[in-house]
Amino acid sequence: MDVASFVSSVFNGQLPFRVEAYDGSSAGPTVESSANGLTLKILSRDALNRVLTRPGELGLARAYVAGDIDIDGDLDSLFELSTPPIRQLLNLKNLRSLATVVGSSAFKPLSPPPIEAKQRGSLHSRSRDKDAISHHYDVSNRFYEMVLGPSMTYSCAVFRTPDDTLESAQRRKVDLVARKLELKPGMRLLDVGSGWGAMAIHAAKEYGASVVGVTLSTEQQHYATEQARLQDVAHLVEFRLQDFRDVEDGPFDAISSIGMSEHVGRRSLANYSQTLFELLRPGGRFLNHAIGRPVSFNEDPQPTKGSELSRQMQIALGMRGPSRIGSPFMERYVFPDGELHEVGMMVSMFQAHGFEVRHLESLREHYALTLRHWVDNLVKRFDEAVEEVGEQRARVWRLYMAGSAVGFERHHLEIHQILMARPEHGESGFGLRPDFEPTF
């Protein structure tokens, strides 16, 4: 039996894509007749080794990252597919067939690709969080410039129309945050997870705010500090290589956290909320901008005591169901230790620690469009990206961003801005209506 025939047998001869293998064999529909136009290329024996010694998504992810398999065609179609159950892959008949194809060497584990994250220490400890952030962000500022474009803003943009440029949409986003926080000259802003400095620099340059930006990424801190100098706001902006838990020079008049709380983790959310509450002056405002996950009442198959309504509420409040970013591929190669939370649980957490939630909006469609821009940027400069960060990392970023775009489009992912106040004697400072122009 050849390799392509073996793969076809795993799918009971009903291959949903074309397979081309290193031994010259092929199976499945032609590209022209295929419903999805996908071709799976099995480039080496190591691909089968990885899948068989680590069945499921992690084995496939390792084979893809290592370059043992490749995919031709529109990656969107990939996310429509479902793989056969592991028991079907590893049944006795298939194992005997595989032995005739590749021999016993297919059952000897290979080392994971070198860019796979290897986290050590207690989950969400300061040292482990710094390692996780470094894995994702300390890649190459030049690489991020290729992907993100001139704005160097790695979070959801805000579009008025689909024809807006990414740069204008990103500027609109940071300005929306500034207006929601009602920034004014002389106000102190703490920007938690300040990235490459876009929010902090905009707040200083356009609103005259005095800003402290904190990040755990050395590359980001160096880049942002230089950008503040080039844009003549270095006297107003300080970028620190610092954990938000170690900020001690409050109070601040306003706090922004854009795309950062996804790294905090459920077990640390209470501390995150309490720390930021204490750093904010009474009457101040806090905006949390974060990716989330829609609640699913089918997440936890385990029977629970009490009524079905009780079980659903536990899930809705984040007390049940997974919160990790969601897959072995994302955990090992993209966002180590990242966790996504349901927006209702986040609102309850913030209010339980003293904040008053005043405004909430979803930007889900905006993030899908943002990601499409990023994927397009990467595809156009893919060869450059490979030269800068290596083929493995470039492949990871293309797959992860394409999959994330599909996730937002199909409502598997969400993105929300939650605007809050720290009330003083019952006064929120908001008055009778919002003082910012609505997004829509």
Domain boundaries, the chain: 3-100, 126-421
pLDDT at 74: 84
Coil, strand, or helix at residue 368? helix
pLDDT at 354: 97
d(CA 386, CA 143): 9
d(CA 285, CA 235): 23
pLDDT at 238: 98
Q: Half-sphere exposure of residue 127, counting CA atoms within 13 Å on the CB side?
A: 4
pLDDT at 298: 46
pLDDT at 388: 97
Those residues whose C-beta lies under 8 Å from the C-beta of residue 56, and which sit 6 or more positions away, are: 86, 328
DSSP 8-state symbol, 197: S
d(CA 195, CA 38): 36
- Nearest to residue 396, comparing CAs of 5, 34, 112? 112
Those residues whose C-beta lies under 8 Å from the C-beta of residue 321, and which sit 6 or more positions away, are: 295, 296, 299, 300, 315
CB 243 within 8 A of CB 215: no
pLDDT at 346: 96
Burial 242-272 (b: 16+ CB within 10 A, else e): bbbeebeebebbbbbbbbbbbbbbbebbeeb
Helix axes 198-207, 166-180, angle to 10 degrees: 70
CB 417 within 8 A of CB 260: no
d(CA 358, CA 433): 10
- Nearest-Å Rg of the Cα atoms of the chain is 24
Spans in the chain with pLDDT lower than 70: 82-107, 296-326, 433-440
Instruction: Kindly tell me the number of DSSP H helices and DSSP E strands found in the chain.
Output: 18, 11
CATH code, residues 126-421:
3.40.50.150
- Nearest to residue 116, comparing CAs of 136, 140, 99? 136
Q: Class for domain 3-100, per CATH?
A: alpha beta
pLDDT at 392: 94
3-100 shares its CATH topology with 126-421: no
pLDDT at 319: 34
- Nearest to residue 242, comparing CAs of 290, 278, 288, 190? 190
